[in-house]
Every structure is written in structure tokens, then in C-alpha cells.
Amino acid sequence: MQMTPRQILDKLVSFPTVSRDSNLPLVDWVEEFLDSHGITAHRVWNADRTKASLYALAGPEVEGGIILSGHSDVVPVDGQDWTGDPWTVCEREQRLYGRGCADMKGFVALALAGMAQAAKDNLARPLILALSHDEELGCIAAPAMIEEIQRSLPTAAAVVVGEPTMLVPVLAHKGSYGFQVHVRGHEVHSSRMHKGVSAIMLAARLIDWANRMNAQSAVDAVASDFDPPWTTLHVGTIAGGTAENITARDCRFGLSMRVMPTDDPQVWIRRIRDEAARLEAEARNVHPDASITITATHHVPPLLPQPANAAEALMRRVLGANDGGMVSYGTEAGQFQLAGFPAIVCGPGDIAQAHQADEYISMEQFDRGWSMVQQLVATLRG
């Protein structure tokens, strides 16, 4: 399977690996591609074996290699106004359009091309591919994959997580926490709403509290390279109620938190739970069935700046970069760092294009990203 990086990208985008669906057709193809270059891939299954992460090594089985880390899943295209087919790469105006081109099948395509090159080179240290699933759901699958890599492969010297950073090394990012909130009310006719508890209106009070906390955090913020330089609370989905004239019995919403590395996340979690308990107590004065239940769904650790970070030193040499950035989104780099790997985030494309209709990566960024991967392979030769 002799393919250019662009041809690999075309193939990867053709798999509609939305997180809610299986990624196995893509994993099957990646395994076939790697096998055609003499590279053995290893799967790390989810619980019901409907999805798998994948890792593979090209070169000698010795310590000191480089891990190229990416994820196979993408966000949905539902309700977005795409100009063309999101599952077919379209080239126009020096841009490559398609779901995942920026986040992050563009980098995965380059990593696979790099693995093929590494397999035929006489490397002194290995190039390792780490391809996860369910990153978009909160970096759920990466820890099990990282554990398998630690158990099965020689220790790598650096991890490059290729999320889109415009090829600027990112040295730190926020951590994130996710929660599902279930608000239970008591149904009555809405003309007698004072005798019932509307789960929707009670949920709205907790959401309004989150808005007020965001506003206060912005006022109290200290200057930082993070944008924004404060911990944020966000509600992205909500559902509930049965009819306009019935106080809602149930309301469910997702609450996420992106925490500044200087903040204690447990303090924020206590604030959320304390406010929920206060509102619940008020609602139970109306009816004892009222409740607010908060269930943790995921935790993505922050990526913290570290002195003598081998991954940072590597990328500065390869890119000739003196500056490094900080970002507010989370990545699997924090999970690699927590496991003891020197890690950095650096990849082609602009995060502003991620999750958008007509998502794209510029051809200039894609080509520069390929040069970066080739230079990383070259560092493994000597």
C-alpha cells in the first residue's frame, strides 16, 4: 500500500467515525496499511468490543523512541450546513475540506505515512503510533491504551500529540471534568405550578449559577497566556419535560468544567455540589420527590509545563521554535504526562476549524506537518 499522505487522508476521512458509532472499519484499514509495511499493530478494545484503540512500533524495539499520538473519532455533522460531502476530502483554494481534516485525521495521515517511512529506514530508535478512540467524549480510551504501551513496548523518550496547533508547540493546557446532571421534579398542571417542582426551571437555576460563576471568575482573573485565563463552566446539552402545561418531572444536562492549572478542581467540584444541594433543599420544601443528582463522566488531566521536558526540547529542535503556547482545550497529552511520558501538543491545522461545518486544513499546514514528521523520523536514525 504505497500511498502519499494526501491519499491516506482521503481514506481516513471516508470513514464516518463519529464517536457514537464504531471505529472498527477505520481500525481494520489502518491495520492492513501497517501490515503492508511489515508493521504489527495491537488493538486495545472497549468493553463491548465495538471500538478499539491501536498502537504499533516501527524500527528496533529499544528505548528512546517517539510516540505520535492521535485519535480516530470525530464529532457529528448533524445540523451543520456543509457545502459538500463531509466524508469526502474536497480541495479548493489551497484547503482540504472534510470532517476530521483538522481534528485530527490530518495528523493521523501524516503519522501513518511516517510509520511507513520509518519501517524502511535503518532507525536506531523506534517510531510508535498511538491511535485512540472516544477522545471527543472526554479522552475516555487513552488511559487503557497508554497502559498497554507501557506494558508492551520499550519506554519512549517523547510523545507528540498532534492536535491542531498551527505547528506551534503547546506546553500546557487546562484540565477538564464532565458531569451529567439529572434534575427530578414533581408533575402538576402548570396552572398549579406552585404545588409542583419544574425540573427544567430548577435546572435553569443551577445553569444560571454557572453563568454567574463564569462572570465572577472573569472579573477575578489574573493575566495568563491561557485564553480565557480563568476556569470555565459550560452546559452543552439539555433535555427534559413532556408538555407545555405540565411542570417537568425530569431534566438532564451535561455540565463541563475547564480548570486552570493554578486552581484546585476539587474546590470547584465542591462549589457545584454545594449549590446543587442548596437548590435541592429548597425544592424539597415544595415536594420531597425533588432531587438533583450529579454523576461524573470523565476527567482529562491538565498538561503542565515541566523543566527539562524532552518532548519540548525535541520539537524546538525540529521546528526551530523558540516560543511555546498554552491552550484552554484538553488533549491526551495530559494523560501521557500523568503516566510519566514527556509530552507536548503540536500538530498542523487550526483548532478554530475543529467541530465546524466545512472543517478544513490548509495545504500549507498539511505540507509543513509532513515535513515535521519526516524530520522526527530523521532524528531516530542517528
Task: Choose the catalytic residue: 10, 31, 73, 163.
Answer: 73
Q: Does 135 participate in catalysis according to the annotation?
A: yes
Q: Does 78 participate in catalysis according to the annotation?
A: no
CA distance 180 to 203: 12
For 149-190, strand residue ranges (E) read 158-161, 170-173, 175-184
Q: Which residues of 175-193 are buried (b: 16+ CB within 10 A; e: fewer)?
A: bbbbbebbbbbbbbeeeee
Contacts of residues 317-324 at CB distance under 8 Å and 24 or more positions apart, as own/partner, are: 317/379, 318/372, 318/375, 318/376, 318/379, 319/167, 319/169, 319/346, 319/372, 321/168, 321/169, 323/168, 323/169, 324/168, 324/169, 324/170, 324/171
Measured from the Cβ of residue 203, the count of other Cβ atoms closer than 10 Å reads 25
Task: Choose the catalytic residue: 10, 31, 135, 136.
Answer: 135
Q: Which positions are annotated as active-site residues?
A: 73, 135
